[in-house]
Amino acid sequence: MHEIFTTRNNPYVDPIMAMWEWQIPVYLFLGGMVAGMMIIAGYFLFSGRHKESNCACFSIPFTSLILLSLGMFALFLDLAHKPYVWRLYTTFQLKSPMSWGAWILILVYPALIANILIRPSQWMINRVPKLSEIAGKIQQHHILIRNIGILNMLFGLMLGAYTGVLLSTLGSRPLWNTSLLWVLFLVSGLSAAAAYVHLVAKNKAESELLAKADNGFLVVELFVFVMMFLGLLSSAKPHIEAANLLLNGAYAPIFWVFVIGMGIVIPLIIQLLAVNHKVKHTPIAPIMVIVGGLILRFVIVSAGQYSHWFNAHFH
- Compute the C-alpha angle 32/37/43, nearest 5°: 130
Q: Which stretch binds another protein (CB under 8 A): 44-52, 169-177, 187-195, 274-282?
A: 169-177
**Is residue 1 within the footprint of another protein (CB under 8 A)?**
yes
Using CA atoms, how far apart are residues 55 and 33, in angstroms rounded to an integer? 16
66-85 footprint of another protein as x/- string (CB under 8 A) = ------------xxxxx-xx
Quick check: 239 binds another protein (CB under 8 A)? no
Chosen residue from 47, 53, 66, 93 binding another protein by CB under 8 A: 93
- Judged by CB under 8 A, the residue of 87, 127, 137, 141 near another protein is 87
Report the distance separating Cα 76 and Cα 98, nearest Å. Answer: 13
Is residue 136 near another protein by the rule CB under 8 A? no
Task: Give the residue, chosen from 69, 99, 147, 235, that forms a contact with another protein under the rule CB under 8 A.
Answer: 99
> What is the smallest separation between the CB atom of 10 and another protein, expressed in angstroms?
4
Other beta carbons within 10 angstroms of residue 290's beta carbon come to 22
CA–CA distance, 261 with 240 (Å, rounded to integer): 22
Minimal distance, residue 151 CB to another protein, in Å: 23
Q: Is the peptide bond before 15 cis (omega within 30 degrees of 0)?
A: yes
CA distances from 296 to 55, 125, 229 (A): 27, 38, 15
- Pick left, alpha or beta for residue 12 (phi over 0 → left; psi -120 to 50 → alpha; otherwise beta): left
The answer to whether residues 312 and 238 touch, using CB atoms and an 8 Å cutoff, is: yes
Per the CB < 8 A criterion, the answer to whether 193 and 39 are in contact is yes
User: Between residues 196 and 306, which has the closer beta carbon with respect to another protein?
Assistant: 306
Residues that bind another protein (rule: CB under 8 A) add up to a total of 48
For 296-312, b/e burial (b = at least 16 CB within 10 A) is bbbbbbbbbbbbbbebb
Q: For residues 106 and 134, which CB has a smaller minimum distance to another protein in the complex?
A: 106
Among positions 3-22, residues that touch another protein (CB under 8 A) are: 3-14, 17, 19-20
In the complex with another protein, the residue whose CB is nearer, 92 or 223, is: 92
Q: Which of residues 100-119 bind another protein (CB under 8 A)?
A: 101-102
**Which residues of this chain interact with another protein, rule CB under 8 A?**
1-14, 17, 19-20, 78-82, 84-85, 87-88, 90-91, 93, 95-99, 101-102, 166, 169-173, 236, 238, 305, 308-310
